[in-house]
Chains A and B, each alone.
Chain A
Amino acid sequence: MSYLDTPRLHFTGQFQADVSTINNEVTLYDINTFRPEDQTLTTDGTRGGWNPEGTGIFRLIGCRVTGARLGDRQITTWQEDAVIGTALENADDRVFGKLVDLDPQQQMVSEIWGMRLRLTDGSTRALFAGDFRPAAFTNLWRRQQRAVFLDQTLAAVFQSVLEGVSWDLDSAAGEGNARSAVLEALRQASAEGRLSININVYGYGRDPAIPRYTLGRVAGTIGPYLAGEPRHFVLGRQMVSGTPAASPVAPYGGVYSFQCKVHEDRRVVTADFGNCLPIRDASGAFDPNTSPPLTLAVLKAESSSLLSTVAADDVAVLGELNYLRRGWYAATAGVQDFDYSADSWCVSHITTRPLALLTPLAADNSSYAVLVSETLGGWYARADGFVARLEPGAMAPFDVYATRYGKPVSTLVKFSSNLGPMGGPPPEPEVGTPAAAIAYPAELKTDAQGKTVLCVTARADGPGNPRGYIDGQLYGIGYQPAEQSAQAFVNFWNLISILAFDRFEVPTQPTWNAHVRPILQQYGNLYPIMSKHLVALGDYSSVVTHLDILKLAFAQPLEDPNHMPVTRDLSAGKRAMILRWMEQRGPDGLPLRGDLGPPGAAVAAAERAAVVVDLDPMQRRSKTEALLKFAARRAGEEAR
């Protein structure tokens, strides 16, 4: 079960991602070259970027349930079911969730941490509430076609699970309040306290001068979830768009990758178009002038190569997409059901032939262009969770699934280094080196349930501080079913991102000057919201004045919304060191100050070499910059 089953509810609204921008530039992690002006708000791509005092807060704003599906019934009004109009809200008894990059050199797997959501109807505090299992977004692509200054035109999708779900449907069912059949059914379908949740994000504004500053739009779906299933993707049909090697965010067909689920029992295909269709602008509207009719279909024959066009006779049409109908996106979050029970060919072949998204080439629908199709041969592999922070000597397990036409399959999956979008040209530090700092098998065979566990281990002495002024090293692991043809498009984002921390020996008597200050100074530089307004993190007396709250925050587990650092990029060793330093007191009753380091250790600020890629101001300090650096690297690789 997943959000592509029923019952499900769809919500739309806004989100705020008050991310901080100084940490988008890796060179600003160097405390020896950091300048106070690097904390200045700028919109020209220099210094602190467009939100240097960001708090990291991620929260939903004004999200309402605007549609639901119960069996074969689409529900859009309150009269049909009381779930319509209820509000999907943040927790109301703890701090907001946070949006966190893995690393300045891997900003393409931003994760939501510490978010708890609740559904409220205005009289019941939480019809249900649950903890959003931390998850990174994926399928990042240039969905928004027109932009105002500084708009983030990339869109993406988070899929995860709400855990520890509690229900309170009874107090709402009082006088005058209709009971929601959708919620009742959802509760029964999710007996294990979990729900599947999918959140499409788009239309994010970054210009401090506009009302949408730090705000974007969401459209999402919540459905049932059962234990043992993948949490971050649907074990179903995977449609993978072709993209140029140097530009993974600009699909050839103009439509991005998406997933479907074939419900053989009900003879229904449920497809999620929530993040794959281009939108005109930040409002999320589809542009009727440039939006062609779209058709979901089954290709009648397997092909050994990807097709760009097909004749009408070669496909079984499942149906037209309703995306240009008024209110469709809000009512469905882009999820559409296609009933194929009347088509006997489909009934007998849909599980063994590729699905494709088509647009007619001629008015008589005699032929179609193929915009996106299922992976070649139906082969697909996917690491469920795909982001990890790895301590020296530790192991990170990744559930990896292999499917063929959406069905679990026992097959060989190959693993190899794939840095994807990570890193950038000098003066950025090199990523992925030394390769030997992490280890994992080159191939694994999935079991009959299509599953295997990839265990990635970090060597005990860590990567050895290869990046100097920033802790640890980034690694990427790509994967592919061995059976998959070399011609197949592989989803660019299907890779595992790992931040392997440096080894850090916790000293028996850590001191401020020798150990603590260099770490806290870096956070102080990068997060002036903390250092200017709460605790001057580079200042001994300020830090010791706030020891109690700092101790509380540093001691929280990673999952806790109060965890410090918000960025979750401090290794366990360094965190233990800081906590030990806070505990140990000198003769003055305060934590040890220690000797200053050798004089001259601080390197004078070096002129930063210009980045290799040519950026206009709007593109700097952002995911766009990372993508352009990626494109430049690809071009360099091809030139070699």
Chain B
Amino acid sequence: MIKLQRSVLNAVEAAKDRTELYPWLQKAIELEHSTIPPYLAALFSLKPGANDEIARLIRSIVIEEMLHLTIASNILIAIGGRPQINSSSFIPQYPGPLPMAIGGAGFTVGIEPFSKPLVQNVFMVIEEPEHPIPVQVLARAEVPDFATIGEFYSALKAKLAQFGDAIFTVAPDQQVLQWFPASVLFPITSVTSASNGIDIIVDQGEGTSTDPFQSPGNPAHFYKFGEIFYGRRIVQTATGFAYAGAPVAFDPAGVYPMMPNPKIHYFEAGTQARTRMVAFSYAYSSLLNALHAAFNGRPGQINTAISLMYELRLIAVSLMQTPVGDGSNLTAGPSYEYIDAVQAAIA
């Protein structure tokens, strides 16, 4: 299901020096970021006190996506590149394709409230492993024969190995190394450490080819979404794995009826919905600005970025409860629009 243009792999494999890997590592950063807004929107749409287990699972996935973004950025920094994070082109169009047309032609990702179809048709597609392990309840026979995210990262690994340790020229003091355990976020200084970092990205997302768990009790993203969709934790059985563990309850009433894919310009100036959506996008843009600073020579700014992530969560609370005002029961939601200096001056 996870299709990736074969041309991407070809380009990675054709890279002649480290600078030709920069755009592909930048794409990796954009890819790791691209799933965060839709996952967060689904998370924010869950009412407090309802669907807490689902919220916990999605939150754990989002945090790992942030780790992946950080690892990919650190690798790019380590070989002399500069992550570009604070621009509107960094953010995918929602709804629209993911970076590098991940998922294939016609696969689009939007900003929507939580629903089981969203989990199955979008989130599980995004996270589908290169070689999914058959899990009981699931009936999956064929194995796709096209390029995958896993292959993309494998190609990057192979190229880094080919170029060797000599390309890791930038000191780790330029890298962001806070907020995650050293076992998963470590300085990138060599082919080995870069490969280990990439393995973490792939394993947390997909699991290994033989085990849906990235660590004991902690399934990879695809299987966590499977748990949410099938309403049961994944467990090992005599014959393999099954969604047959503890229930993961879903209460459809515990979801704010957020308008899918809201945009600021849908709402008139002066409306509560617009005011709150602008506040969210403004804080989100500030977050990208702070991350950009953190990944471009000021790693300490990661603390500011973390604070902004929490403020986004707080702003989303009222946003998700603000009626869109068209007589429907729909509420506003986050639009993740980058508000730069120009837009701020004309908004």
Q: Which A residues touch B317, using CB under 8 A? A: 53, 55, 529, 533
B window 305-323: CB within 8 A of A: 306-308, 310-311, 313-315, 317-318
Q: Are A123 and B341 in contact (CB under 8 A)?
A: yes
**B198 proximal to A (CB < 8 A):** no
Find residues 133-154 in chain A having any chain B CB closer than 8 Å to their own CB.
Answer: none
| A549 touching B282, Cβ below 8 Å | no
A window 531-589: CB within 8 A of B: 532-534, 548-549, 552-553, 561-562
Q: Are B289 and A533 in contact (CB under 8 A)?
A: no
Is the CB of A8 closer than 8 A to any CB of chain B?
Answer: no
CB distance from B321 to the nearest CB of A (A): 8
- CB neighbours (8 Å) of A409 from chain B are none
Closest to A127 in B: B341
Please tell me which one of the listed residues B279, B306, B314, B341 contacts residue A122 in the complex, with CB atoms under 8 A apart.
B341
Q: Is residue A110 within 8 Å, beta carbon to beta carbon, of the partner chain?
A: no
Nearest CB in chain B: distance from A581 CB, A: 21
Given A59-B279, A93-B289, A529-B314, the answer on whether A120 and B307 have CB atoms closer than 8 Å is: no
Contacts of A126 in B (CB 8 A): 341
Q: CA A94 – CA B286 in complex, angstroms?
A: 6
**How many angstroms between the C-alpha atoms of A151 and B262 in the bound complex?**
30
A162 within 8 A of B: no
Are A86 and B315 in touch, CB under 8 angstroms? no
B residues less than 8 Å from A123 (CB atoms): 341-342
Q: Does B236 sit at the interface, judged by CB under 8 A?
A: no
Closest to B312 in A: A95
Interface check A102, CB cutoff 8 A: no
Complex CA gap A123/B346 in Å reads: 11
Contact between A92 and B289 (Cβ–Cβ < 8 Å)? yes
Q: A89-B344, A211-B270, A532-B48 are in contact. Are A95 and B313 (CB under 8 A)?
A: no
Interface residues of B in 270-314 (CB under 8 A from A): 270-272, 275, 278-279, 282-283, 285-286, 289-290, 293, 301, 303-304, 306-308, 310-311, 313-314
Q: Is B345 an interface residue (CB 8 A)?
A: yes
Main secondary structure of the interface of B (DSSP, over half): helix
Contact residue among A93, A96, A549, A552 (Cβ-Cβ distance under 8 Å from B293): A93
Whether the Cβ atoms of A534 and B313 lie closer than 8 Å is yes
Contact present for B344 and A120 (CB under 8 Å): yes
Q: How far apart are the CA atoms of A95 and B283 in the complex, in Å?
A: 7
Residue of A nearest to B325 (CB): A211
Per the 8 Å Cβ criterion, residues 42-70 of B in contact with A are: 48-49
Cα–Cα, bound, A91→B304 (Å): 12
Known pairs A95-B286, A122-B341, A562-B307; list 17 more (Cβ under 8 Å).
A16-B279, A53-B317, A57-B315, A62-B269, A92-B285, A92-B339, A94-B304, A95-B304, A122-B342, A123-B341, A125-B341, A211-B271, A213-B272, A529-B314, A529-B317, A534-B314, A561-B307
Q: Identify the B interface with A (CB < 8 A).
A: 48-49, 179, 269-272, 275, 278-279, 282-283, 285-286, 289-290, 293, 301, 303-304, 306-308, 310-311, 313-315, 317-318, 339, 341-342, 344-347
> B-contacting residues of A (Cβ < 8 Å)?
16, 18, 53, 55, 57, 59, 61-62, 86-87, 89-96, 120-126, 211, 213, 215, 529-530, 532-534, 548-549, 552-553, 561-562
Question: Can you list 29 A-B contacts with CB-CB less than 8 angstroms, sorted by A residue number?
Answer: A16-B275, A53-B317, A55-B311, A57-B311, A89-B344, A89-B345, A90-B282, A91-B286, A92-B339, A92-B341, A95-B304, A95-B307, A96-B279, A120-B341, A120-B344, A122-B344, A122-B345, A124-B341, A126-B341, A211-B271, A211-B272, A533-B48, A533-B314, A533-B317, A534-B310, A549-B306, A549-B310, A552-B303, A562-B304
